[in-house]
Amino acid sequence: MFFLYILESQKTGNLYIGQTNNLEDRFKRHQENRNKATKGRGPWILIYQQAFNSRAEAVQLELKLKSWKSNIKVKTWILSNKDTF
């Protein structure tokens, strides 16, 4: 099982979009500043997660959401897809 996840920084309000096969461990690493991309920008809250059968599916959605480059557009998408959370 693989997960697409979206975190929101409580410090800056910025979003981080990622994918993993161990969501609990990855979230812990973000909170402990053990992820280069998010270091020093937390604490983080998990605002969305979606499970997939393959990493390829999770990566496909991750790349789509990242390509938007707009927190507002991503948050709007989350609201329209909240049944999967």
What's the pLDDT at 81?
85
What's the pLDDT at 82?
73
pLDDT tens-digit map of 2-42: 999 999 999 999 999 999 999 999 999 999 999 999 999 99
For the chain, domain boundaries: 2-84
Q: What is the mean pLDDT of the chain?
A: 94
CATH of 2-84, one of 3.40.50.720, 2.60.120.260, 3.40.1440.10, 3.30.700.30: 3.40.1440.10
Neighbouring C-beta atoms of residue 7, cutoff 10 Å: 25
pTM for the complete prediction? 0.92
> Quick check: helix, strand or coil at residue 48?
strand
pLDDT tens-digit map of 75-85: 999 999 876 55
